[in-house]
Amino acid sequence: MTATPTPARRQPSSAKPVRRPGDLFFSSASIGSATIILLTLAGVAVFLLIEALPALTAPADEVSGGAGFAGYVWPLVVGTVVASLVAMVLATPVAVGIALFVSHYAPRRLGQSIGFVIDLLAAVPSVVFGMWGMSVFAPRLVPLYEWLEQNLGFIPLFADASTSGRTLMTASIVLAVMILPIITAVSREVFLQTPSLHEEAALALGATKWEMIRTAVLPFGMPGVIGGTMLGLGRALGETMAVAIILSPGIFTWNLIGSGNNTIPAEIALNFPEAAGLRLSELIAAGLVLFVITLAVNLFARWIVDRRAEFSGAN
Amino acid sequence: MSKRIDVNDLDIYYGDFHAVKDVTMTIEPRSVTAFIGPSGCGKSTFLRTLNRMHEVIPGARVDGEVLIDGQNLYAKGVDPVDVRRQVGMVFQRPNPFPTMSIKENVLAGVRLNSKRMSGKAADELAERALRGANLWNEVKDRLDKPGAGLSGGQQQRLCIARAIAIQPEVILMDEPCSALDPISTLAIEDLISDLKTDYTVVIVTHNMQQAARVSDKTGFFNLKATGQPGELVEYDSTQTIFNNPREKATEDYISGRFG
């Protein structure tokens, strides 16, 4: 008897590889899922385009505001983008700080629980943020806005303080709180992935903790932080409820701390139930514009996050 | 620039685990000292206590003293950051900073001292360090290219250049050739022989021929059994260790009759 078991019979060699039913099932299932997501996206785009067409082609004086669709939508676009950018600028430094604390400063236990609390923040429904922002947060910001008006009033952004606090600035701050978890989570992940090899290289050169973070952790994590920031921006752009509740909408103004301004999602949410005909088409067209902006931001974020592979330094 | 190291009754612990027991040794300046021994015997751990890098691992602590020219590294009020500027280190795997160019890598340690340097002084320092690491001729035309684009052996010499740019007293090397091919290994070994004219060099290696080739003195570390602390079994001139060791364990290890 030989020690090595011999196959009972040789497989006849054929040109075609064997196709097992399990493989076939799972490959078609995953191809199917991938196709569904593409079809959904295409369906949304086609729906928006068809429904938006009347507003896009309507004569200028028939569109709300009487200046054509472009004239109608640009203040909303600027309002949306400004609110989101301010939120991003406010949230990013705090998120990076939290991520560094959790990944490099806090004792492991404490870091984990803080990370958990931050993730919980993402679970708060946006309508709760909206109500809190309107009834609790906005009135308390009024003194700050008055101070800004008195001391920085020469900057058009802080020209005229609102008495209710329900301004684009308040909406931005609440948006910043809402996008904090996603930026923190992505940053924490990349900071934790910093190769200890690079951290030790910096420490062995006589780096203090902060210098080590500056030399090894931040350059390594930067693409990830940028990607997380972009994901947060995408979330802020599409946020509806919080902005719709907090903001008392009005005509466009560069003044961030006064009443006025609106964002695309809030405009749609507030007007959609009663809209019909051309007005409905206008709102859908505004949605199309938002769709394009959000898509562009998310693609950009994806591209930056994917580029991180080159920076891994693993060789 | 080189200094003498005296280690007195040093015990090393990771939390409750006693990793290395009771090491006492003197490392001479301007010499190469090699540590050999089986995996897990604590030679790398011991090396890392010579510049307090072991403290990076949570729970690691030592008991005993390490004197560099009479100064105890573990005395109260000694900042590990200052210790590491005096005692440089080269790691097992080449670890240039991936986002920095070759020149920035060499200057990384100097920049940490937050000294303002003119562009000319920086260029001169980078050239001196790269020449000191036998790398200048290979990279002088591409100083602004990423350090991670070099071959493994070149990267390791870049790391040595980075370590000597801050002009340490001592250079520690933790298996610097274990990730390199034989030609690159030879280049590093040549470099080690050159470095000892200016520095005190301490090297951990798994390669006994390497220890025999480059070192003046050799320490053999061993552990009695798994879970037991590692200890310094024998420490003598490299010639004695390899030709006429005092201990049976050393002889078994170097002649390959180990375990």
CATH of the domain at B73: 3.40.50.300
Specify whether the CB–CB gap between B250 and B241 falls below 8 A: yes
How confident is residue A10, by pLDDT bands cut at 50, 70 and 90? low
Estimate to the nearest angstrom the gap between the alpha carbon of A62 and the chain centroid.
34
* Percent of chain A predicted with pLDDT > 90: 27
Residue B184 falls inside a structural domain:
yes
pLDDT of the residue at A314:
40
Predicted complex ipTM = 0.87
Residue with structure tokens 């780096």?
Answer: A207
pLDDT (tens place) for every residue of chain B, 259 residues total = 578 899 999 999 998 889 998 899 999 999 999 999 988 888 999 999 999 999 888 888 899 999 988 889 898 888 989 899 889 999 999 999 988 889 989 998 888 876 677 788 888 889 989 988 888 988 989 888 888 888 888 999 999 999 999 888 899 999 998 888 888 888 889 989 988 888 999 999 988 889 999 999 999 999 888 888 888 999 999 999 999 999 888 988 888 876 4
Q: How many CB atoms lie within 10 A of CB A307?
A: 12
Q: How many structural domains comprise chain B?
A: 1
d(CA A211, CA A209): 5
Q: Against a cut of 0.90, is the pTM above it?
A: no
pLDDT of the residue at A222:
86
Pick the CATH number of A29-55+62-311 from 1.10.150.120, 3.30.365.10, 1.10.10.10, 1.10.3720.10: 1.10.3720.10
Mean pLDDT score across all residues of chain A:
84
d(CA A155, CA A256): 11
Look at phi and psi of residue A155 and say left if phi exceeds 0, alpha if psi is from -120 to 50, else beta.
beta
Q: Identify which of B89, B95, B109 has the shortest CB distance to residue A198.
A: B95
The two three-digit tokens of residue A113, written as one number: 């629980």
pLDDT of the residue at B226:
80
SS3 track for chain A: CCCCCCCCCCCCCCCCCCCCHHHHHHHHHHHHHHHHHHHHHHHHHHHHHHHHHHHHHCCHHHCHHHCHHHHHHHHHHHHHHHHHHHHHHHHHHHHHHHHHHHHHHCCHHHHHHHHHHHHHHCCCCHHHHHHHHHHHHHHHHHHHHHHHHHHHCCCHHHCCCCCCCCCHHHHHHHHHHHHHHHHHHHHHHHHHCCCHHHHHHHHHCCCCHHHHHHHHHHHHHHHHHHHHHHHHHHHHHHCCHHHHHHCCCCCCCCCCCCCCCCCHHHHHHHHHHHCCHHHHHHHHHHHHHHHHHHHHHHHHHHHHHHHHHHHCCCC
pLDDT of the residue at A75:
87
pLDDT at A262 over 80: yes
Cβ–Cβ below 8 Å for B148 and A313? yes
pLDDT at A106 over 60: yes
Cβ–Cβ below 8 Å for A204 and B112? no
The more confidently predicted of residues B198 and A304 is B198
Bridge-based pairing state of the strands B32-36 and B217-223: parallel
Work out the end-to-end distance of chain A between its first and last CA atoms, rounded to an integer number of angstroms.
48
pLDDT of the residue at A16:
75
The more confidently predicted of residues B258 and A129 is A129
pLDDT at A312 over 70: no
Task: Please report, for chain A, the start and end positions of each structural domain, with discontinuous segments joined by +.
Answer: 29-55+62-311
Residue B134 falls inside a structural domain:
no
- Mean pLDDT across the stretch A50-78? 84
How confident is residue A309, by pLDDT bands cut at 50, 70 and 90? low
Residue B30 falls inside a structural domain:
yes
How confident is residue A161, by pLDDT bands cut at 50, 70 and 90? confident
pLDDT at A13 over 80: no
Specify whether the CB–CB gap between A65 and A57 falls below 8 A: no
pLDDT at A145 over 90: no
Contacts across the A-B interface (CB distance below 8 Å): 75
Side chain identity, residue A145: Y
How confident is residue A15, by pLDDT bands cut at 50, 70 and 90? low
pLDDT at A162 over 80: no
pLDDT of the residue at B236:
92
Q: Is B201 helix (H, G, I), strand (E, B) or coil?
A: strand
CA distance to partner chain A, nearest, from residue B108 (Å): 8
pLDDT of the residue at B87:
92
Specify whether the CB–CB gap between B203 and B32 falls below 8 A: yes
Residue-wise pLDDT tens digits, A77-103: 988 998 999 999 999 999 999 999 999
Specify whether the CB–CB gap between B180 and B188 falls below 8 A: yes
Phi, psi of B202 (to 5 degrees): -125, 130
How confident is residue A1, by pLDDT bands cut at 50, 70 and 90? very low
Residue B190 falls inside a structural domain:
yes
pLDDT at A313 over 50: no
d(CA B21, CA B194): 33
Q: Which domain holds residue B213?
A: 17-96+168-254
The two three-digit tokens of residue A222, written as one number: 């930067």
Helical (H) or strand (E) element with B121: helix B119-132
pLDDT of the residue at A4:
52
Contacts of A309 in chain B (CB under 8 A): none
Closest CA to B202 of B12, B7, B63: B7
Q: Identify which of A108, A199, A204 has the shortest CB distance to residue B51.
A: A204
Residue B3 falls inside a structural domain:
no
Residue B185 falls inside a structural domain:
yes
pLDDT of the residue at A64:
78
Contacts of A215 in chain B (CB under 8 A): 97, 108, 112
How confident is residue A5, by pLDDT bands cut at 50, 70 and 90? low
Residue in chain B closest to A212 (alpha carbons) equals: B112
Phi, psi of B118 (to 5 degrees): -70, 160
Burial tier of A156 (Cβ tally within 10 Å: 0-12, 13-18, 19+): exposed
Q: What is the dihedral of CA A189, A194, A196, A199, to 10 degrees?
A: -130
Cβ–Cβ below 8 Å for A198 and B162? no
Phi, psi of A282 (to 5 degrees): -60, -45
**By the CB < 8 Å criterion, does A50 face chain B?**
no
Phi, psi of A217 (to 5 degrees): -80, -50
d(CA A35, CA A51): 24
Number of residues written out for chain B: 259
